Structure 1
Amino acid sequence: MHHFRRPSDAAYLLNFSLAIIAGIAVSRFKLQSRKEISILLLAAACWLAGASLNLRVESMRWQTFTLTASACAALALWRLQKPGTEWRTTLWLLAILIIDYRCFNLNGRFNQMRNTAQLFQDNQIVRLLTQKIHERQEALPPRIETRNTSVPWDNMVVFQNILSTQGYNPLRYTLYEQWYGARENSLVADRSTPFNPTMGGPISRLLGAKYLIIGHREVTSTPQPPDDYQRIFSDKDTELWSTDLSYSRLLNPTRAHLLAPGAAVDAPLFASSDFRNVLLLTPRDHEDARTASALVLTCNGQVNASVVSATPTQQHIRVQAKDNGWVVVSELDFPGWQAELDGKTIPIHRANGMFRAVCVPSGEHELRFRFHPWSMVAYAWQHAHGSPVL
């Protein structure tokens, strides 16, 4: 986690901070004080009127109904000049908030747009893709990879519970960019890395990207998928392809190779590795390398693992092993994740460049990965002060 995807995204933190400050400030208002409420409502009426006039830009039709928010504040200012209860004042303030949100809705731009989320969900390829991904009801379903597509394929697949290797995220994670080559959005050129030179590359397969979505655009040529892909469906805008070469989201390799921290990885060797059997330990630091070195020769048994449940912040896996063995999950080795085996914390090792791996002992166990946001905050704080924790 290195920096914001683009400078404007840093404003989200500023907006959040301003919201907290505004909430604290408003909590200091005395609802029974006619003077304080009058000043608040007068400022709100003027501010909302200015916000409405500010929408009169060349690329947008002025939405005159947005003046309703300012009119509501002015009406509340007039009505609350008469004596009343604190509940009446509270209800007027809530009414202004609701009308304000309805009128402006992200500066009013979305008020003029079509329901793109519904249009995306009604798309025939989206419906077919959703059916294929969820028909087996897997807790860790396959992912999709997109090329040359429109922006909805970046951020609206979440409505269908479809996991994509690309998407919108205001934070950039250097590790993911280094190995996979994530792009900012669908409107910019695709990026490649030595470990994922093309769509359907080694990292794409490790991510479990079984499906490939290719868009048609007038300004760009349509990319051709690798030979191992089969076309499932296509229309005038999009093609849907699939491959059988993507890895399972849960791997149990029996041969581990440990690299030194920061050592260069041979890209051709990486591409030719069968990660169903081979585990490449790429330690994040010297501590990770030290704990992993003791496991390379002893953790090589067969493991039967099945996912019980999975959400964006936790995975519950049931394992059964005759000997010590590896469990590799196709999820990022991201700050804040912790692993527990039967309720006891065990170390997570960075595997295959950017994924999470743990060594489980023989027997039947309950393995859980959980995300702890405050641990991520602690990492970000240490990293900002130059501590080499990752």
Structure 2
Amino acid sequence: MALLLLQLALEKRSHAIAVGFAIVASGVALGRNQVALLLCALLLFAAVAELMSSQQAVRYLRERLGVLTTMAVAGGALLIVPMLLTLQFAHLSNRPAELLDDALRGSLYPANLATLAVPNIFGTHSSYWGPGAAASAEVDLTDDSGNYLFFGAVPTCLLLWLGVAGGRAWQPGRRLMTCTLAISCLFMLGRYTLFYGLAFQFVPGIDLFRRPTDASFVFGIALAILTGHCLADYVREGVPQLRPLGTLAAVSASLAVVSSAIAFSARTGHALDATRGAVIAGTIMLIAGAFLFAMRRHPARAAAAALVTLAAVAELLWWNTASRLNAEPWDSYAVLETPTGAEAAAIALLENAIAAEHRRGANPRVEVLGLGGPWQNLAMVRGWEATNGYNPLRIGLYDHLVSPGEQNWDVSQRQFPLSFNNYDCSLAKALGLTYLVLGSPLERLSGLSTLPPSELLLSGPPVWIYRIPGAMPRVHMLGEFGAEATRLDRRPRGEASPDQAPAEAQAASRLSTPLLSTESSPGIAKIVSAAPGRVEIATTSASRGLLMLHDLYYPGWMAEIDGKATPILRADVLFRALEVPAGTHHITFRFVPFSLGNLRAALNAVLGRPSGGS
């Protein structure tokens, strides 16, 4: 849609269509992943191609400068705020960049190109034996779904015969998609070509992502458009005369890719299975080609093209509808909606315990670890406050200090650094971690030097639930001495900031002893209401002190004391705090990422300038 609107806006010099393009293209860009980046590059190249293909490039550009300006202004207005906030998070996240060696592990193994026409050449729809983590260490970040490119034997036949052998892929109006197809192929092959390494080093943004195979989305788009052009040309012009070099390239490339796939399959004893799949796909291609050739006379070409299109659709539906690659049984995720049996009993027990904590004025956090994939998101679905989950990107300091791991179903990803060396450490208590929900007994959890004090609430299988005593209140008051020892906004000159100092050592030293004591608790603080993005607290104190809120410090939060804006301080590396005067007060924390103050801070962070505050 964006590509069509771009071409129409430039052709008709329409400002209205230019705005439409800006809206659609902004939606693409806001995907904020590598696919979005590559699609934006395609749109840029398409605009350049339109300019370069005109007979008078300077005049063409001058006549459409207003339309291009409309696109830039409208698109920029839509993108600037979400992109600023994205860059703000990336600056503070645990993974703002990737290493080339890691990214290359997400390359597409060349033999996987055979799946374009032969869907089951690696047993993808049964028991996968193709390239991936189990069979190829150099591409261990790929799997059967990422390596599956099935486009159809019929469309592949059209592209190889009409487009490559017949030369129509390089006709005017087709060259942009042909170049896109070639470049995206080189990109997704990753380590097997020089192109990706050069792009990673010299093209801005590529080093922010892993998996060259993401280019398969762009590859598929180019393939679909180019094949559509080939079929439309067949209807209009008939069968092209074969070109010797094009024919040689099409035949040799096809044989090389399929032969390498069969050879790879032979490593695991599946050469016969792979050959059988290749023969079936080859037969379909020959039948489709013979049919189109037989119907090459003008009156019959449109009907032949329609029938071939229906065959291509049927092929895609047969192999891809409700495949295990894109659909799973509802029962696999029942725990997220209607849990039953032991899982339902475990969830009910935990939620009753959490409700009892809430009635006592506590705000417990939960850690779910070592249970099935659906349990990764169960805390979010059920409204539990969790220390982990399925979360590849996290606030960098939190990730370093707590080390919860990217996927909580995989116990091996849960690390216990110096700052969080056990579930009863000071940081765990400050976070309010109270319940462990495990897929095995606590004593089997590797990485713990000693078992923490705990109360077994439920013994599995399949679920074990433990209560860890000693969690600190979510909110409390500190007196003068405790406040000065805790806050980070008054560091001596030359002392490293929280983002510069080694996070684990800093947290270990600051949180090595509990901060609650009778001397440092001059008043009472109580959460009146709490919801995502908003916390209201009532305080009463005889003297000025520091209100500690054990929620993460992050830009975009603002605080008010009795309706008056008050600066938020960073305390104990991770948390938020406020200076509160003596007396009784109503305090509100609100998350307002779109406020002018936060957008200014985000811009300063992007430009590398010091921020004026939270």
TM range (shorter): 0.5 to 0.7
Once the two structures are superposed, what CA deviation does each residue of 1:78-104 show, in whole Å capped at 9, x if it has no partner? xxxxxxxxxxxxxxxxxxxxxxxxxxx
Post-superposition offset of 1:354: 0.5
Q: Which residue of 2 aligns with 1:167?
A: 389
Q: Which residue of 2 aligns with 1:103?
A: none
CA distance 1:267–1:119, change in 2 (3 Å) = same
Q: Which residue of 2 aligns with 1:94?
A: none
Alignment check: 8 A CA contact 2:332 2:374 kept: no
Alignment check: 8 A CA contact 1:301 1:324 kept: no
Tell me, yes or no, if structure 1 residue 248 matches structure 2 residue 470. no
Q: Looking at secondary structure, tell me which structure has more helix per residue.
A: 2
Worse overlay, 137-146 or 157-166: 137-146
- Normalised by the length of structure 1, the TM-score is 0.63
Alignment check: 8 A CA contact 1:214 1:222 kept: no
Once the two structures are superposed, what CA deviation does each residue of 1:314-355 show, in whole Å capped at 9, x if it has no partner? 001111111101111110001100110011111111111100
CA distance 1:60–1:235, change in 2 (3 Å) = same
Residues 348-387 of structure 1 mapped to structure 2, 5 A cutoff:
348-375=568-595, 378-387=600-609
Distance 1:51 1:278 in 2: 74
AA paired with 2:529?
S
CA distance 1:305–1:179, change in 2 (3 Å) = same
AA paired with 1:215?
G
Post-superposition offset of 1:141: 1.9
Q: Which residue of 2 aligns with 1:91?
A: none
Q: Which residue of 2 aligns with 1:238?
A: 463
Q: Give unmatched runs, 5+ long, in structure 1.
A: 15-45, 63-106, 280-299
Residues 195-210 of structure 1 mapped to structure 2, 5 A cutoff:
195-210=419-434
Q: Which residue of 1 aligns with 2:515?
A: 275
AA paired with 2:374?
P
Distance 1:338 1:59 in 2: 47
Query: Number of residues paired by the alignment?
Result: 289
Q: Which residue of 1 aligns with 2:551?
A: 331
Q: Which residue of 2 aligns with 1:117?
A: 336
Alignment check: 8 A CA contact 2:432 2:472 kept: yes
Q: Which residue of 2 aligns with 1:74?
A: none
Residues 44-83 of structure 1 mapped to structure 2, 5 A cutoff:
53=316, 56-57=319-320, 60=323
Q: Which residue of 2 aligns with 1:180?
A: 402
AA paired with 1:383?
A
Distance 2:321 2:444 in 1: 32
Tell me, yes or no, if structure 1 residue 193 matches structure 2 residue 417. yes
Worse overlay, 173-182 or 341-350: 173-182
Distance 2:318 2:472 in 1: 49
**SS of equivalent to 2:418:** coil
Distance 2:508 2:550 in 1: 21
Distance 2:547 2:522 in 1: 10
Post-superposition offset of 1:197: 1.9
Once the two structures are superposed, what CA deviation does each residue of 1:112-147 show, in whole Å capped at 9, x if it has no partner? 855241354752211101000012435762001233
Q: Give unmatched runs, 5+ long, in structure 2.
A: 1-88, 96-207, 218-308
Post-superposition offset of 1:216: 2.5
**SS of equivalent to 1:212:** strand
Post-superposition offset of 1:174: 0.8
- Normalised by the length of structure 2, the TM-score is 0.42
Say which of 351, 363, 371 aligns to 1:130. Answer: 351
Q: Which residue of 2 aligns with 1:229?
A: 454
Distance 2:456 2:424 in 1: 14
**Structure 1 vs Structure 2 CA RMSD:** 3.7
AA paired with 2:353?
K
CA distance 1:136–1:4, change in 2 (3 Å) = closer
Distance 2:318 2:478 in 1: 58
AA paired with 2:534?
Q
**SS of equivalent to 1:227:** coil
Q: Which residue of 2 aligns with 1:311?
A: 531
Tell me, yes or no, if structure 1 residue 211 matches structure 2 residue 438. no
AA paired with 1:356?
R
Once the two structures are superposed, what CA deviation does each residue of 1:247-273 show, in whole Å capped at 9, x if it has no partner? 111122222315444256556543431
AA paired with 1:56?
W
Once the two structures are superposed, what CA deviation does each residue of 1:22-61 show, in whole Å capped at 9, x if it has no partner? xxxxxxxxxxxxxxxxxxxxxxxx99x9599268259926
CA distance 1:323–1:157, change in 2 (3 Å) = same
Distance 1:370 1:51 in 2: 53
CA distance 1:114–1:209, change in 2 (3 Å) = closer
Identity, in percent, stands at 25
Post-superposition offset of 1:4: 8.1
CA distance 1:56–1:202, change in 2 (3 Å) = farther
**SS of equivalent to 1:272:** coil
AA paired with 1:240?
I
CA distance 1:321–1:124, change in 2 (3 Å) = same
Q: Looking at secondary structure, tell me which structure has more strand per residue.
A: 1
Once the two structures are superposed, what CA deviation does each residue of 1:61-92 show, in whole Å capped at 9, x if it has no partner? 69xxxxxxxxxxxxxxxxxxxxxxxxxxxxxx
CA distance 1:114–1:133, change in 2 (3 Å) = closer
Distance 2:518 2:393 in 1: 31
Post-superposition offset of 1:379: 4.0
Post-superposition offset of 1:111: 5.9
**SS of equivalent to 1:210:** strand
Worse overlay, 224-233 or 311-320: 224-233
Once the two structures are superposed, what CA deviation does each residue of 1:134-189 show, in whole Å capped at 9, x if it has no partner? 12435762001233333333211233221110023464211211222231112441
Q: Which residue of 2 aligns with 1:27?
A: none
Distance 2:560 2:517 in 1: 24
**SS of equivalent to 2:358:** coil
Distance 1:207 1:52 in 2: 53
Worse overlay, 264-273 or 309-318: 264-273
CA distance 1:8–1:379, change in 2 (3 Å) = farther
**SS of equivalent to 1:172:** coil
Once the two structures are superposed, what CA deviation does each residue of 1:164-220 show, in whole Å capped at 9, x if it has no partner? 100234642112112222311124411233211233332211110011122129xx9
Residues 70-109 of structure 1 mapped to structure 2, 5 A cutoff:
108-109=327-328
Alignment check: 8 A CA contact 2:545 2:581 kept: yes
Tell me, yes or no, if structure 1 residue 157 matches structure 2 residue 382. no
CA distance 1:235–1:113, change in 2 (3 Å) = closer
Say which one has the larger Rg: 2
